[in-house]
Amino acid sequence: MSQTESSFAGAQRLGPDSAVSVRGVSKTYGAVEALRNMSLEFPRGQLTSLLGPSGCGKTTLLKIIAGLIPADEGEVEVNGTKIAGPGNDRAFVFQDFALLPWANVLRNVAFGLELRGVAKSEREAVAERYIRNVGLAGFEKSFPHELSGGMRQRVGLARALSVNADVLLLDEPFSAVDEQTRRKFQEDLLALVANENKTFIFVTHSIEEAVYVSDQIAILLARPSRVSEIIRPSSFREKGVENIRRDPEYLDIVDQIWASLRSYVE
Amino acid sequence: MNRSLVFKLLSAVLVFGAWEIGGRIPISYAFPTFLESMEAFARMAFDGTLLRAYAETLKPLVLGVAISALLGIGFGLWIGLSARSEWFFSPIFIVMQAAPLAALIPLLVMAYGIGLTSKVFVVCIMAMPVIVLNTAGAVRNTPASLKEMGQSFLADDRQILLKIVIPAASPVIFSGLRLGVSAGFIGAVLAELKITPTGVGDIISYSRSIADYPSMYAAIFSIILLAVLFLNLLEKLENVLFEGNNRGYVSD
C-alpha cells in the first residue's frame, strides 16, 4: 500500500462513523409529499431521536430505514451496504407492540429467530436470556393479554434484541405506556445504549423524552418534510440518570426545541 | 362440581321442563311430551333404528361438511388474499347463501339424480358460503402491524401466511366453521326430506305420516344432539390448535 493510499484510508475514519446513512430520500403518498430529499447520518453505537410535529414523516423515515416501505428516490445504507428491504442487521420495535396474541411470551420473543429457522431449543435459550434482561423472568408462559402495556413493550424489546441486529429501530415505543413506566423505560434504554453497543434510532413526539435519551436529536419539520436542526447534547450524559432532568443544558435544550417547534404546532 | 356445568344442567332442565309442560297441556295433538319423546328415543336407540338411520344420514353429512370445510377455508384464504379472486368468487358464495335452497332442490335432482351426489350438494350449499365468507373476511382483516412485524423480522410470504395470517384469522375461521357445520346438519335433514326419504329424514317423514309424533321428535332431538356434540368437538379442536384463542385478545 502506498503512503497516499494509507493516509486516505486513515482519513476516511475521521469523524463519527455512521451505522446508517440516509441520502436524498423522497417519498410521496399520492398527492401528499411525506419526505423530500432527506439526508441524515446515524452515528454507530449512539441513540439518535427523530423528533417533530405529527405529519413530519418521522415514522415514514423509520419504516424506509427498516425496509418496510420503499423510498421513491434516494438510498439508505446500513453498515455501508445499500438496503433493498428488511434485513437481519435491523430490528424493529412497534408502537402497538405487534405481539402475537395466540403465542406466549417465550414464543413471541423467540419469533424473530423462529422465522430465521433457528432450532427450537436454541432460540428458546436466547429468548429466555433476553426475557431475563428486560425484567420479565417468570412470565415466559404468560400470554400478551395477561400483561400490562409496559410489560408488553418489554416483550417487543426483547424480541428485537434477541435477533442481535446492529441497528434497533424504535417507533414511539413508549407512547402507549403510562408515565411512570415510561420513565423507567427511558432509564433502562440509556443502560441498554451504554451496554449493548448497538445503534438506536428512536422516533418520539415527546421533547423531554428525546432530550433525555438521545446522543443526537434530529428535528424534523413538515410540509415539505426536512431536517431543520441536529442537536447533540454534550455535558449531562455522564452525570447519571437521576441528575439529567435538572441539568441546565437539558433544560436549555428542551426550551430551545420547543421554541423552534411551537410555530409548527397548530 | 364447577359452576359452568351447574348452569348447563339448569338450562337443560328449564328447556326440557318447558317442553314437558307444553306437551302435557297439550298445545297441539302433534306435540308430544318430553318424556314420551325420550321413551321413543330410547326405543329407537336400542332396537337399532337410529343406528341404521345414521349410517345413511352420516354419508352426505360427513362428506358434505368435510368438503365444505376444506374447500371453504381454501377458497376463503384465496378470496381474502387477492382482491381479483374476491371479485370473481365472492358473488357466487353470496348468491349461494341467499338462495332459497328448498326451491332449488328440484334443479339439483334433475342435474345429479336422487342419489348421494345431490344430497352432498345440498349440505355443501348450506355449509360452505358462511365458512368461505368468514374466512375471507378474517384474512382480509389481519392486523397490518402483525404483517409488518413479520416482514421486518424477515418472514417470507409462506411464513406470513402460516405463522401470522392463519393464526390471526383462526377465531373467526372457527366461528365460521361452527355456523357452517350447523347449517350442514340442517342441509342433511333437508336433503332427506326433499330428495329421497332415507336415514333420519325417513324416520321424521314416516313417523309423521302415521302420526307417531314421539318418534318424529325423537329423531329431530337426535340430530340436534349430534350437532351439539360435534360443535363441542370443534371447540376442543380449536383449543388444542390455538391455545391462545380462548384467552381473549390484546386490546386496550
Split at pLDDT 50, 70, 90, the class of B251 is very low
Any domain includes B8: no
**A102 chain-B contacts, CB cut-off 8 A:** 167-168, 170, 242-245
Backbone dihedral region of A81: left (phi > 0), alpha (psi from -120 to 50 degrees) or beta? beta
Report chain A's terminal Cα–Cα distance, integer Å: 59
Any domain includes B222: yes
Query: Cα(B5)–Cα(A262) distance, rounded to whole angstroms?
Result: 62
The structural domain count of chain B equals 1
Any domain includes B249: no
- Dihedral through CA B128, CA B134, CA B136, CA B137, nearest 10? 160
Any domain includes B211: yes
Any domain includes B127: yes
Containing H/E element for A216?
Answer: strand A216-221
Contact at CB, A145 and B242, closer than 8 angstroms: no
CATH 3.40.50.300 intervals, chain A: 17-89+166-266
**A153 chain-B contacts, CB cut-off 8 A:** none
* B82: containing domain: 33-239
**B159 chain-A contacts, CB cut-off 8 A:** 115
Nearest CA in chain B to A159: B153
CATH no. for residue B161? 1.10.3720.10
Contact at CB, B247 and A145, closer than 8 angstroms: yes
Split at pLDDT 50, 70, 90, the class of A14 is very low
The string of pLDDT tens digits covering residues B172-229 is: 999 999 999 999 999 999 999 989 899 999 999 999 999 999 999 999 999 999 999 9
Going by C-beta distance under 8 Å and a sequence separation of 6 or more, which residues neighbour residue B152?
A66, A67, A68, A86, A90, A91, A92
Check: CB of residue A57 under 8 Å from CB of residue A34: yes
The string of pLDDT tens digits covering residues A101-149 is: 889 999 999 999 999 999 999 999 999 999 999 989 999 999 998 898 8
Cell match 450524559: residue? A237
**A97 chain-B contacts, CB cut-off 8 A:** 250
Chain B: closest CA distance from residue A13 (Å): 30
* C-alpha closest to that of B146 among A102, A151, A137: A102
CATH fold for the domain made of A17-89+166-266: Rossmann fold (3.40.50)
Mutate to test the interface with A, among B148, B153, B164, B173 (most CBs of A within 10 A): B153
The string of pLDDT tens digits covering residues B7-36 is: 889 999 999 999 999 999 888 888 999 999
**pLDDT of B247 above 60:** no
Going by C-beta distance under 8 Å and a sequence separation of 6 or more, which residues neighbour residue A55?
A222, A223
Any domain includes B97: yes
> Percent of chain B having pLDDT more than 70?
96
